[in-house]
Structure 1
């Protein structure tokens, strides 16, 4: 069995070598828009490409034709896939353009620069490296450089209407209001005196009341007066450190307690008067 397999190896190698693809009669022509031929080259696919790049103008047309066969045979072969690859070595951009091949292996390709295909990559100063790519289920693939192609530089792409929205904006320079200046000490002292004047008058009037009025020292009265003083202290605290929201919250609680204490103080005075009238 081993001997029979060894005897079949030469035949297998012959079949494998016969499954190579070849390109024959490759020819490329460049013509102007009026039909005059500007350049014609016969290509040696698999060999050395032309020494100088092919050049296309804005309205020129490149036409290429070739025949695909099995190596060593003249019968045409239709590969599964046939492409031309345009590659820019400077930018790394590439474009793949399919080529139509008929059943007899004859292929034609046309590139009209007046209407370039969308698959053509953006062009610059460097020439494209144009390669032929063949793929088949029953043959070995073929990828070979066939010529260099120089075309006019691509126009810059049109600006998208929303493109400015994606650009960085200038840095925002915040401008803060200067710190408020404190008024002169004399002005502050005057208004402090205005605020404290009612309390001074209150204590002055209380000192004039005869000591025979014991109801003024009742806890209800003292609590109410103390809560009024706490309200004044809350405003002073607001001026020194608190925010408006904190003052409103504390003032709501303190004001509710002050109202209840004032109500109790008035009830206490009314009760004292009723008791005094019955004596």
Structure 2
């Protein structure tokens, strides 16, 4: 029982302990390794904003310990640096490697910035340290504000223009079809019906009796001629010239044979009358 209580007290004390940061320090170096700025960070008050040029390097070192213990360094389960742009709302999370003794080191080289850095403008990034652990209370520390060069626009892909909004298509419609005068329409309608008048006149001259007009040998030829008239009317209303020529060629062959048969039959009737 005493052994169990001791383990409970130990677990409670470990959970009650909080993580703290010791000896936080930053260094800004130029491309030629010349030190531009170096100072110790205060966890209660932010220093003057840090500024990095496109070739500068920022180094951050610190050690993580716990309050209420012997001050030995510990390794949290999670250690992150958060870069937050308060203007755009963009943020980036960068994990930091910590040794079992609690020592941590982070390096930001602006010549090769990590992908976790959010897109930037002229506004500074708020840099904070986030610590997480299964056995200790989590902790968060606001370290400093950081000015870095504004992000360059993303390179334009060669096919990007194909997927960008295109100008609206302006359709040009043909004007409404104008109808010819009624006199012109009547003239052409008479021209279309004229062959029928000629046909009736010819039938009257050859002296064919009316009953022969509906004879089985004559009706197919008359029907095919009516089909030609219907085709011309259809062309006037809807068809195109190519369609008329195609359909006319199809009708032409049976019309020739029907007409030849009708003429031969008519000749026999005339010979019989004589």
TM-score, length of structure 2 as denominator length: 0.78
Distance in 1 (CA, whole Å) between partners of 2:187 and 2:259 is 35
Q: Is 1:210 aligned to 2:207, yes or no?
A: yes
Deviations 1:68-104 (A, max 9, x none): 1121432111222222111111212112222222222
Query: Secondary structure of the residue that 1:100 maps to in structure 2?
Result: coil
2:70 matched to 1:73? Answer: yes
* Corresponding residue number in structure 2 for 1:107: 104
Relative to structure 1, the CA distance from residue 203 to residue 235 in structure 2 (aligned partners, 3 Å threshold; closer, same or farther) is same
2:13 alignment partner in structure 1: 14
Instruction: Out of 132-141 and 207-216, give the one that drifted further.
Output: 207-216
Does structure 1 residue 273 correspond to structure 2 residue 262?
A: no
Distance 2:147 2:115 in 1: 17
Task: Answer whether contact 1:220 1:264 (CA < 8 A) is retained.
Answer: no
Partner of 1:23: 21
Aligned alpha-carbon RMSD (Å): 3.8
1:139 paired with 2:133, answer no
2:41·2:143 contact (CA, 8 Å) conserved in 1?
A: yes
Matches within 5 A, 1:182-201: 182-183=179-180, 185=182, 187-201=184-198
1:139–1:264 distance in 2 versus 1, CA, 3 Å? same
Is the aligned partner of 1:44 residue 2:42?
A: yes
Partner residue in 1 for 2:156? 159
Could you tell me whether the CA contact under 8 Å between 1:83 and 1:134 is conserved in 2?
A: yes
In 1: Cα distance, 2:95 partner to 2:268 partner: 113
- Partner of 1:194, secondary structure, is helix
Match of 1:123 in 2: 120
Q: CA deviation at 1:230?
A: 4.2
Q: In structure 2, what is the Cα distance between the partners aligned to 1:101 and 1:195?
A: 101
Task: Output the TM-score relative to the length of structure 1.
Answer: 0.77
C-alpha distance in 2, partners of 1:160/1:255? 60
Unpaired runs of 5+ in structure 2? none
What is the rounded CA distance, in whole Å, between the counterparts of 1:274 and 1:190 in structure 2? 37
Given candidates 223, 228, 251, the residue that maps to 1:231 is 228
Cα distance in 1 between the residues matched to 2:62 and 2:262: 117
The structure 2 residue matched to 1:62, chosen from 58, 61, 86, is 58
Q: Distance in 2 between matches of 1:147 and 1:114?
A: 21
Extract unaligned runs of 5+ from structure 1: none
Change (3 A) 1:30 1:167: same
Q: Secondary structure at the match of 1:199?
A: helix
Number of positions where the alignment pairs a residue of Structure 1 with one of Structure 2: 270
SS of residue matched to 1:157: coil
Contact preservation (8 Å) 1:215, 1:272: no
